[in-house]
Amino acid sequence: MNMFRANFWLHYAGPQAFYGLAGRLWPWCAALAVALGVWGLWLGFMVAPADAQQGEGYRIIFVHVPASWMSMVIYMAMAFWSVLGLTFNTRLSGMMTRALAPTGAMFAFLSLWTGALWGKPMWGTWWVWDARLTSELILFFLYLGYIALTSAIDDQRRGDRAGALIAIVGAINVPIIYFSVKWWNTLHQGASVSLTKSPSMAQVMLWGMLLMAMCFWLYTIALVLYRVRTTILQRESHTAWVQTIVQEAA
């Protein structure tokens, strides 16, 4: 099928077709994630030189920064699927958003903890109320709110739509939170990696972080696809094609 035709995408919007596609994709993503992860960690922990001021402890940024990026990217992805779901009323959108949420929450949590572990030896404190940390904490609460709301509503379709609305409202709120807290108190270092300016850190460190970021991204894709497959089987359990699969597995 030609990839540039609309019905290529519409075909995969159906749970059964997506189940097959996801099944073929996720092992590759997982393998690639492992490969990139090994490479990235090797660069970060073995190859990159010790920092002039922070010594060896700074190496945690190879996990911390990609985790922060992913926590934000995943939330944007949730908002994207939510908009899609509310506009086109597809069942798959709700499933994708629900599948993304736990991983996003995990990355937000990881980002907060690795930040604290980095902060203690570097600046002598586990926590500080600056713009980025506070916004990340609020983002973590947004994830928890989404997961709590969708878990509490019994009717799956209503849960999907309610979750979609809160995901979209939260997405609008994230920049507002960021700027409000930034105005309030700023301590975090300025952006070291920017699309427009050249980075102010060594090439190797940059490569390490980018590789880890791609590793996390592929890990997310693999895990989300796997999770969606399980959700599809649960939700479509009354259809013939699922019952065939269940019988074959038994």
Partner 1 sequence: MIWQAFCAVLRRDLLLAWRRKSEGLSAVFFFVVVAALFPLGIGPELNVLRNIAPGVLWVGALLSSMLALQRLFEADFRDGTLEQMALSPIAMPLLIGAKMLAHWLVSGLPLVLLAPVLGLQFDLSGEALVTLTFALLLGTPILSLVGGVGAALTLGVRGGGVLLSLLVLPLFVPVLVFGAGAVEAQVSGLGVQAHLSILMAMLLPALFFGPLASAFALRIALE
Task: Kindly tell me which of 115 and 170 has the beta carbon lying closer to partner 1.
Answer: 170
Query: What minimum distance in Å lies between the beta carbon of 182 and partner 1?
Result: 10
Residues that bind partner 1 (CB under 8 A): 134, 138-139, 141-142, 144-145, 148-149, 152-153, 155, 157-158, 161-162, 165-166, 169-170, 173, 176-177, 180-181, 183-184
Could you tell me the smallest distance in angstroms from the CB atom of residue 227 to partner 1? 23
| Minimal distance, residue 10 CB to partner 1, in Å | 25
Cβ proximity to partner 1, 142 vs 209, nearer residue: 142
**CB nearer to partner 1: pick between 71 and 223:** 71
Residue nearer to partner 1 on the CB measure, 16 or 173: 173
In the bound state with partner 1, the residue whose beta carbon lies nearer, of 169 and 246, is 169
Chain centre to alpha carbon of residue 82: 15
Tell me how far, at minimum, the Cβ of 121 lies from partner 1, in Å. 29
Smallest separation (angstroms) from partner 1 to the CB of 94: 12
